[in-house]
Amino acid sequence: MFQIELIWNQNNKSTAFFIPPQEYETGLDNHLSVIADICDVFEESGCIQFHVSGFGEALWRLDCRFDLCSVFDQIVEAVNSLENGQSSFTIDFFEQGTERTLNFRENDKNDEILLTMSELLAGECNSETERIAKHELLEMFREFIRSFLKFSSNLCPSLIAHELFIQWFHQYIDFQDTSTMI
């Protein structure tokens, strides 16, 4: 069954990292620049594990620096889609070594989402279609976002509070303050 989550590594006792002030260039940088920096902190700290399973694989080979960085904004957009009644969307894991696309679409018969996966690399996929209740998928994605915000607040609070991230995030998620998501 499909699962996506961020996990705090209990063996690592690190908390806030010293992050030199980030200078982002107007017109060149955007929310993705901030997300990339947060994901770098996650990877460097060793505190955060990015887990995805499903389609016959107990745990996909993923990291925070590249894989999480490439999908976080897609998860936020997926939550927005689901909350607005749109149940058809894709999430691309396009980093080298993973290269998969998850296609989500509503099952016409009930309130569930059908997931299919296509791989750009030749490989084994033990399950062609998986099913998940729409409300379960939405809650899983929300919990994923809450974890991202919480872990970012612990490890790199200046990055998660950066205006480029906040402005982008509030376009999709209606929260007055990201701390309410934690």
Q: What is the 3-state secondary structure (H, E, C) of 116-175?
A: EEEECCCCCCCCCEEEEEHHHHHHHHHHHHHHHHHHHHHHCHHHHCCHHHHHHHHHHCCC
15, part of any domain: no
41, part of any domain: yes
Mean pLDDT over each residue of the chain, to the nearest integer: 86
Measure the CA–CA gap between 129 and 103, rounded to whole angstroms: 10
15-68: pLDDT as tens digits: 666 566 678 998 899 999 999 999 999 999 999 999 999 998 889 989 999 999
8 A C-beta contact, residue 98 and residue 61: yes
pLDDT at residue 79 tops 60: yes
Q: What is the DSSP letter of 38?
A: H
pLDDT confidence of residue 113 = 96
83, part of any domain: yes
8 A C-beta contact, residue 7 and residue 48: yes
40, part of any domain: yes
pLDDT confidence of residue 95 = 73
7, part of any domain: no
77, part of any domain: yes
Q: Show the domain range for 157.
A: 31-175
Tally of domains within the chain: 1
113, part of any domain: yes
Q: Which residue has the higher pLDDT, 73 or 170?
A: 73
17, part of any domain: no
pLDDT confidence of residue 124 = 55
142-155: pLDDT as tens digits: 999 999 999 999 99
82-100: pLDDT as tens digits: 999 999 999 999 876 778 8
